[in-house]
Structure formats: C-alpha cells, structure tokens
C-alpha cells in the first residue's frame, strides 16, 4: 500500500502538512514584494446579481464608476466614444474583417474596446506588455465596470503565467517553482522527490519503476490535486478520473478539453475564462503562444492594443536553445516506439548541428537560410507529427514546448526564415527570424472572425501594404488631435548623436555623457529618462569623471530592472518617491499625466538597432522597403515616448536630449500640431 505521507489538505484545499525537503528547494530568491494571485481574486468567477434597473441602457455604451454612469468622451472631430463603438460594430457586421482604430493617447480606446466586446460577444484583448494588462485590471475589474444587456457585469479575465500565481500545495512560492509535481524535471538528481510524487498520485497503483526512463509527467503531476491540463480533444486521457472535462472550441475549429480537477488554484482556475468570461486579456507573448497552439478560444472579435508594436513583433525573432531542446526531449518517456524514434531523430539532428558549429566555429554575425540548417527538418517533424506533439504538450514546463511553438510559428514561412547562432556558456542557441510578415498576419486573420487594431501611431499605408500585406481594411478615427503642450529646454551642449559622428571622431563619448548629464541636471523634475540602450549610460568608471552626478550606470539600471518584477520603480516614481526615473521599459503602457512628469529626456533618437538580426535580413531581402519601415518604426517610437506624459489637453511636458535629432523631431511635431489647430 502506498504511503501518502507528504501532502495533506484541509476541507478548503489548504495544505496541513508540507515536507521540509521541498521547502529547502523552493524559490528562495523571490522578491518579498511580489504579489502572487489566489483563486479568490479571479473576479470573473464571482456570481453577481444583475442590476435590473440598467437593462434598457444605451445599446453601444456602458461604463460605470462607483455605480455612477460615465458619459462617453467627446472628440474634436464631433464623434463620441459611443459613436466610435457603433461605427466599428457596423463595419464588422457589414463584413469588414480588419479594422484600425486610430486615436491618440487619452482617447479612451480601452473603454471603446470593451464596449465593442459588450455588443459583439466573446472577445480577446491583446496588450504588448504586462503593465498594460495590469492597467486593464485596475481600471475595469474594480470600481469601474460595464453592464451587459441582461444587467450583469461584463466578465473580464486576465491570463497570466505561472510565476504570477500562488501555489496552493506550497504556499508562498509561485506555480512556476521548479520542484512541484507538475514542474519538476524528471532527472536522477530529483529521484527521491519524484518517487514521493509517484506514490502520492492517486491514479497510480503499482510501485514506481526503478528506472526514471519509464516515468512520465502523467505519472507524477496528479500528485498536485490542482493540476489541470488543457489538451487537444483528439488526445483523450483517461487517468484523471477526478477531472471535470470542459470542452471548448479553439482556433480554426480545433477542439480542446480542459481537465479541471480540484478548484482553488488561480493558475489553473484562470483557464475557466476560456469557457466563462466575456473578455479575455492576454499579453502579446502569451497570446501568440496560445495562438500557435490553436488553443486560444474561438471569439467573435480580437482587439489588439498598441497594434503597431504587435505587428512589429510578428518578425518572430525567436531564440531557441538547441542544447536545452535536446535535453527536454530526452526527459520525455513516450510509450510509442514511433515517438521514441522521432525523439532520437531530432536529438541526432541537433547533435549534427552542434558538431558542425564546433568544427567551423560560431560566428554570431553569420546569417543562414533556415533551409540550409538541420533546424528546418526539426521544425517540420515537430509541426507534422501529432503523437510527438501530444507527448510534449502534456509536459507543459518541458523546454521542448519552446521548439514546438517555434515549429508552429515558422512552419508556414520556412522558406523566408533565417537563422544565426551564438554560444551561451556550453549551449548552442539559434536565433530565428522571418521577414514574411504578411504570411504571419494572414495566419492570425484567417483564424479569427474579426480583428480590431488600436493605436495612436499607426503604420504608414505603404508599410501596411508592402510589409504586412494588409490591403483590405477600414480605419475608424477617435481623437486624432495631439493632447497637451510640448516645449523644448536646451543646454547648449546638444549635437547630432548619429553613429557616424562618433566614428569620425567629430564628437566623443565624453562629449555625449557630459551633455546627457547636463540635460538631466537642467530638466524640471519629476523627469522621465527614456533610455534607448543601456550603452547610452556611463559605465561605473565613466560616471566618476562626470561633472554632474545626475546619471545612473548601465549596471545599476540593468540590475534595478531585473529585480523589479512588478513595475514598482514606475509606481514609486508616479507617487513622487524619487525625482528622476531612468528606464528602458516605459515607452508604452505606462502613463505619467499632469505633474507626475514635468520633463522627458531622450538619451538618443529611438532608431531601431541596425545590428539586430531582423533589420540585417530585411535590408538584404527587402531593400526597397527597408528604409521606409525603418523610419516609420523610429517615428512611431518617438511619438509613443512623448505621449507617456500627454494624456489630456491640460498636460504639459518639457523635452530635453543631448541628441539634436530629437529636438528637431519635436519642432516638426510642434509645427504639425499648429497646422491642425
């Protein structure tokens, strides 16, 4: 009889006994101020009585704050938010599949998006970064809400990663902890814990095999009673006898089953949103992953916030550690001889690629067509072999899932995909990039009913047509007048900071750092410093030579941002805890209205990095469109950085920079605004 000695739970599902050995190996370095979600915080699961008095409200508009109705904003073009919602809905119903919503920051595009969802039905909302996802949660899942026609609140849910959720069986660590039954690596060093989990699995009858090669994820993960996988309906598992099977339709009509077991873990319970929520909010990384697996639920409409950045990300610059892929595949213990053969074949192909690079050396600047490497064959196997796919999917935390996602992302564009390699310690890493953005966008459109792309900085018509293949679309305008006022502060030390001026020795690194230091010193505080690249900041040695000690070093900023998992630095700056914020992470999603931010400093004009693999390949493969897209990208990033402090017509901000290209761009913007008004 098996010994159930380690994980015991009370009637509420809380552990009453936890093995100390497991505690020793938990997430010791987790920041103390990280908030881990619990299931009671999933507001979409709460049943509320309908507000019957509001059943006959406006068809296209609903927004309440503290139970008080908020009227739609009025724009300078004569429209209101409600008019924009109606216009979008009518275009969708008339058959238009791609719609761009253009509105400057402060237009209330998020409220427009949710009201479109309220009219159309189940909706995905995609945001580029987690902070914007958090903003939706704070704005519309608390004292603000929308009412549906039945008087009930619009159910909004966020889908977030394991590291955001508290583990019920190990309170205080996240569901990403590497020593939980559903995450632990099946390796010899973890043998004793794996043996315990095997014996705690209520669905295993025999003693654990002596060799780990016969232990599968399904043999140990059920020891966590909350483990609830989502799998294709074609892959039916019968072992989870305590699961409530919830079937739903994913993309392209593909069916999935959510094997929902014990309730109470917010990481697994959040996926009830796929069946029950009206609006599901994804960050773009999670959205693209769920889309690649086709398990994102079928919706009536997809709404992409900060759409220009989302489209830019379709280049799919993916880093794949081939050594870890091979190690991950070896951890799988399939019962099928065919799947074991496929795993051997892939690992042999990886070994060949590793031997090739060992023989020839790894040149990070060398770019290959994907078809010239073994990776193309690996991706084809992963994309075409459903039994292998199923074996990988059931082990959610196995690194082989990264390769599976890459296969799905690149399979349609393999002929237009390129790869470069670099060494990371003793491992070989491949960077995959596709320049066929049109095919990527086509895949998203074909898998959904309608797509709304919202931004204050749309791509130019030429870029949309030439790079993304978007020709049949409509544009709906919200507020298009720039908000607030901009003024320039000069120090007299500015110069053109383009690379060629440093290369020719016309200006020096010391000239630049002295100018940047004086710019920050002269700015009217509070000051937001948009750091274009860490190398724009001084090293520790360089800082000591500067007259004004107003800067932070590269290492200081990198360390500060790496340790800030929840955006606390931005929150502290907004509440006045320090006068200057240096950051590479506030170009989108973060708002600094009114007196929260009086000055914005650009370290340099935000041109993309020409040494980035994508831009190198684009220049080689699409020389006619390269310059057009490059300038378009830089201009949009420039505007987005300014908009962080301009949220209403009453806002005012000073712009400073050591780079005259920034100041010239500000003057051009001022002239455009004057012409419009």
If asked whether residues 542 and 599 sit together in one domain, one would say: yes
Is there a domain that residue 123 lies in? no
pLDDT value at position 321?
Answer: 96
pLDDT at 168: 92
653 beta partners: 486
Q: Which whole number is the average pLDDT over 368-378?
A: 95
> Using 50, 70 and 90 to split pLDDT, how confident is the model at 282?
very high
Q: Which residues contact 463 (CB under 8 A, 6 or more apart)?
A: 625, 628, 629, 632
- Which residues are within 8 A (CB) of 588 and not within 5 positions of it... i.e. 6 or more apart? 128, 129, 132, 306, 309, 640
- Kindly state whether residues 405 and 496 are assigned to the same domain: no
d(CA 118, CA 153): 10
- Residues 518 and 617 placed together within one structural domain of the fold: yes
Helix axes 386-393, 337-360, angle to 10 degrees: 80
What average pLDDT score do residues 655-676 get? 92
Select, from the ranges 29-33, 366-370, 527-531, the one with the highest average predicted confidence (pLDDT). Answer: 527-531
Domain-embedded: residue 89? no
What does the pLDDT average to over 474-483?
Answer: 90
CB-based burial, 163-186: b 16+ in 10 Å, e otherwise: bbbbbbbbeebbbbbebbbbbbbb
Whether residue 149 has pLDDT greater than 90: no
**Domain encompassing residue 671:** 485-676
- Residue 664: CA atoms inside 13 Å, Cβ hemisphere, count? 10
Kindly state whether residues 496 and 633 are assigned to the same domain.
Answer: yes
427 and 508: one domain?
no
Q: Please check whether residue 405 lies inside any domain of the structure.
A: yes
Count of residues making up the chain: 677
pLDDT winner (highest mean) among 143-147, 483-487, 653-657: 653-657
Q: Kindly give, in sequence order, each residue whose CB lies less than 8 Å from that of residue 284, ignoring residues fewer than 6 positions away.
A: 126, 127, 128, 129, 309, 310, 313
| Mean pLDDT of all residues in 275-283 | 95
**Three-state SS at 398:** coil
Which one, of 443, 220, 214, lies nearest residue 314 by Cα?
Answer: 443
538 and 394 within one domain? no
The DSSP annotation for 134-183 comes to: HHHHHHHSSSEE-B-TTSPBP-EEE---GGGBB-SSSTTSBTT-TTSTTT
In tens, the pLDDT along 154-164 reads: 999 999 889 88
CATH of the domain at 554: 3.40.50.300
For 435-498, give the DSSP string.
--HHHHHHHHHHTSS-EEEEESSPPPHHHHHHTT---S-EEEES--SPPSEEEE---S--B---
> Could you tell me if 311 and 414 are in contact, meaning their C-beta atoms sit under 8 angstroms apart?
no
DSSP state of 553: -
**Considering 437, 455, 475, which residue would you say is the last residue of a domain?**
437
Within a domain: 75: no
Q: Number of folded domains in the chain? A: 2
Supply the pTM of this predicted model: 0.85
- Tell me the percentage of the chain whose pLDDT exceeds 90: 64
**Mean pLDDT, residues 24-34 taken together:** 44
Radius of gyration of the chain (CA): 27
Token representation of residue 367: 């770019």
Mean per-residue pLDDT, 190-217: 89
Three-state SS at 547: coil
Tell me the per-residue pLDDT of 60-104, one tens digit each, with 9 for 90 and over: 999 999 989 999 999 999 999 999 999 999 999 999 999 999 998
Taking only the tens place, the pLDDT of each residue in 392-441 is: 988 888 999 999 999 998 999 999 999 999 998 889 999 999 989 999 89
Q: What is the pLDDT of residues 228-240, one digit of tens each?
A: 999 999 888 899 9
Which has the closest alpha carbon to 417: 463, 465, 383, 391? 383
pLDDT classification of 22: cutoffs 50, 70, 90: very low
The contacts found for 234-243 with CB under 8 angstroms, 24 or more apart, are: 234/386, 234/390, 235/390, 235/393, 235/394, 237/394, 239/203, 240/203, 241/203, 242/202
Q: Three-state SS string across 52-82, please?
A: HHHCCCCCCCCCEECCEECCCCECCCCCEHH
Q: Tell me phi and psi for residue 250, to 5 degrees.
A: -90, -155
| pLDDT for position 545 | 80
Give residue 278's pLDDT.
97
CA dihedral of 379, 383, 384, 386, whole degrees rounded to 10: 130
Please give the pLDDT value at position 315.
74
Percent of the chain with pLDDT over 70: 93
pLDDT band at 335 (very low <50, low <70, confident <90, very high): confident
User: Has residue 580 got a pLDDT over 90?
Assistant: yes
Query: For residue 126, what is the DSSP state?
Result: E
Of 437, 467, 495, the residue at which a domain comes to its end is: 437
Q: Is residue 8 over pLDDT 80?
A: no
Q: How confident is the model at residue 15 (pLDDT cuts 50, 70, 90)?
A: very low
Same domain, 424 and 510: no
Q: Indicate if 505 and 652 belong to the same structural domain.
A: yes
In a domain, 493, yes or no: yes
- Residue that has been written with the tokens 């072999």 in this structure: 385
Instruction: Tell me the pairing of strands 474-477 and 98-102.
Output: parallel
Instruction: From 33, 89, 208, 97, select the one nearest 446 (Cα to Cα).
Output: 97
Residue 18 burial (10 A CB sphere; 0-12, 13-18, 19+): middle
Q: What is the mean pLDDT of the chain?
A: 89
Q: Read off the pLDDT of residues 124-138 as tens digits, 9 standing for 90 and up.
A: 999 987 767 777 887
The DSSP line for 635-666 is: HHHHHHHHHTT--STT-EEEEE-SBHHHHHHH
Residues 561 and 501 grouped into a single domain: yes
One domain for residues 499 and 632: yes
180 in a structural domain:
no
Of 374, 408, 437, the residue that ends a domain is: 437
Three-state SS for 241?
Answer: coil
User: Residue 452 pLDDT > 70, yes or no?
Assistant: yes
Confidence tier at 36 by pLDDT (50, 70, 90)? confident
Q: Does one domain contain both 360 and 494?
A: no
Please determine, for residue 17, whether its predicted confidence score (pLDDT) is greater than 80: no
Q: Give me the pLDDT at residue 551, please.
A: 93
Residue 520 in domain: yes
Alpha carbon distances (Å) from 419 to 140, 274, 366, 429, 443: 42, 35, 9, 10, 21
Residue 312 is inside which H or E element, if any?
helix 307-312
pLDDT band at 285 (very low <50, low <70, confident <90, very high): confident
pLDDT of 313: 86
| Assigned domain for 160 exists | no
Residues 633, 509, single domain; the answer is yes
Task: Output the pLDDT for position 106.
Answer: 78
**Rounded CA gap, 267 and 280, in Å?**
14
pLDDT at 247 over 80: yes
């Amino acid at each position: 009889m098996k010994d159930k000695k380690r994980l015991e739970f009370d009637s509420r599902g809380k552990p009453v006994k936890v093995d100390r050995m497991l505690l020793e190996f938990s997430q010791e370095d987790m920041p103390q101020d990280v908030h881990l979600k619990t299931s009671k915080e999933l507001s979409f699961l709460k049943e509320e009585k309908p507000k019957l008095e509001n059943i006959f409200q406006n068809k296209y508009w609903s927004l309440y704050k503290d139970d008080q109705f908020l009227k739609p904003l009025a724009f300078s073009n004569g429209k209101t938010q409600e008019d924009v919602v109606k216009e979008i809905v009518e275009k969708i119903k008339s058959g238009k599949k791609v719609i761009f919503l253009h509105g400057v920051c402060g237009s209330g595009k998020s409220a427009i998006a949710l009201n479109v969802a309220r009219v159309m039905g189940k909706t995905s909302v995609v945001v580029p970064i987690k902070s914007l996802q958090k903003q939706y949660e704070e704005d519309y899942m608390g004292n603000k809400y929308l009412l549906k026609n039945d008087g009930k609140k619009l159910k909004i849910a966020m889908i977030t990663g394991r590291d955001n959720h508290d583990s019920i069986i190990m309170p205080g660590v996240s569901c990403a902890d590497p020593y939980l039954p559903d995450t632990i690596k099946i390796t010899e060093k973890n043998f004793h814990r794996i043996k315990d989990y095997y014996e705690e699995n209520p669905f295993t009858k025999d003693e654990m095999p002596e060799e780990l090669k016969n232990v599968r994820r399904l043999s140990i993960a059920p020891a966590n009673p909350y483990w609830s996988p989502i799998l294709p309906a074609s892959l039916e598992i019968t072992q989870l006898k305590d699961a409530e099977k919830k079937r739903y339709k994913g993309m392209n009509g593909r069916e999935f089953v959510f094997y929902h077991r014990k309730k109470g873990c917010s990481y697994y319970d959040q996926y009830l949103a796929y069946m029950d929520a009206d609006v599901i909010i994804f960050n773009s990384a999670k959205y693209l992953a769920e889309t690649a697996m086709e398990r994102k639920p079928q919706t009536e409409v997809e709404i992409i916030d900060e759409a220009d950045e989302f489209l830019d990300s379709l280049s799919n610059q993916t880093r794949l550690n081939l050594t870890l892929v091979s190690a991950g595949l070896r951890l799988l213990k399939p019962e099928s001889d065919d799947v074991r053969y496929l795993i051997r074949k892939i690992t042999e192909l990886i070994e060949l690629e590793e031997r090739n690079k060992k023989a020839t050396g790894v040149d990070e600047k060398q770019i290959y067509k994907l078809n010239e490497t073994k990776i193309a064959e690996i991706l084809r196997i992963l994309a075409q072999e459903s039994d292998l796919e199923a074996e990988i999917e059931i082990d959610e935390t196995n690194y082989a899932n990264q390769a599976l996602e890459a296969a799905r992302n690149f399979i349609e564009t393999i002929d237009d995909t390129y790869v470069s390699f670099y060494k990371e310690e003793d491992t070989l890493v491949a960077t995959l990039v596709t320049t066929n953005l049109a095919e990527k966008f086509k895949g998203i459109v074909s898998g959904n009913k309608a797509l709304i792309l919202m931004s204050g900085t749309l791509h130019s018509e030429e870029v949309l047509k030439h790079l993304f293949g978007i020709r049949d679309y409509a544009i709906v305008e919200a507020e298009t007048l720039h908000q607030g006022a901009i003024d320039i502060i000069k120090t007299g030390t500015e110069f053109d900071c383009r690379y060629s001026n440093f290369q020719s020795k016309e200006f020096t690194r010391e000239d630049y750092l002295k100018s940047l230091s004086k710019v920050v010193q002269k700015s009217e505080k509070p000051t937001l410093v948009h750091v274009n690249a860490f190398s724009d900041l001084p090293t520790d040695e360089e800082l000591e030579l500067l007259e004004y000690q107003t800067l932070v070093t590269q290492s200081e900023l990198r360390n500060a941002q790496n340790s800030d998992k929840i955006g606390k630095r931005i929150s502290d700056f907004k509440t006045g805890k320090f006068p200057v914020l240096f950051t590479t992470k506030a170009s989108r999603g973060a708002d600094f209205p009114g007196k929260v931010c009086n000055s914005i400093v650009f370290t340099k004009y935000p041109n993309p990095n020409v040494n980035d693999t994508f831009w190198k390949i684009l220049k080689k493969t699409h020389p006619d469109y390269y310059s057009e897209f490059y300038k378009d990208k830089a201009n949009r990033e420039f505007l987005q950085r300014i908009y962080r402090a301009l949220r209403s017509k009453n806002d005012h901000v000073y712009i400073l920079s050591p780079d005259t290209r920034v100041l010239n761009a500000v003057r051009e913007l001022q002239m455009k605004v004057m012409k419009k008004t």
